[in-house]
Structure 1
Amino acid sequence: MRVERHAHRLREPPKTHGGRGYTLKDPRFKKPDGSIAQFDVNLANPPYSLKWKPSTNDPRALGGVAPQSSADWAFVQHMIASMGANKGRAGVVLPHGVPSSAVARKQPTGG
């Protein structure tokens, strides 16, 4: 909750970059070559359980493409891709069920 409170306190202080739009479909901050821009600190409070249309060739899809039914992991993958190589850090606010639902999807079914 500290990250969420901090993110809400940051409106547009100096030396921050903010933007609105559809981050997964059209990231706002890119390098001149079209790749994702990287930052030392990233804070995000993405919409929960957003349904989305995944792309199978997205370079941000580390470890596989997030499921269409929930973009929560796609936002985490975006934040990882946006972290600077040397000092990059990220804080992402997600509902408590996201990690456990990902584990449940990977567990084999049957008895």
Structure 2
Amino acid sequence: MKILIVDDSVNISRAVEALLVPEGHEVVKAEDGFAALAVFKKEKPAFVFMDIDMPLLDGYKSTQLLRSQSDVPIVFLSSNGTIFDQARAELVGGTDFIVKPFTKDAVLNAIARYAG
């Protein structure tokens, strides 16, 4: 499955990619919300992991814009794990929320749960 990772941290993107590629997933990445919109349109991923705090366009607005185009699962992957952050993620169309630091099981279980 093609999965888009949207995170301004190269280390986080690489860590998630290192979990997904051995499981047979194809990974595409974007470093901010604007790039995510372009990559999403071009690559048509079946699943998205979205950070919140990014330059130019944050994860909330990016998710809202992506949601207007698609119903693909968008799972937030963020260190902002308050109830407010999780509620706001749900309001803009997020499918689920994983708090950093994340585990391999949390990432893979999210894919299994929402990618059908």
TM (normalized to structure 2)? Answer: 0.36
Mark the structure with the bigger radius of gyration. Answer: 1
* Structure with a larger share of its residues in helix: 2
* Structure with a larger share of its residues in strand: 2
> Relative contact order, CA 8 A, sep 6+: which one is greater?
1
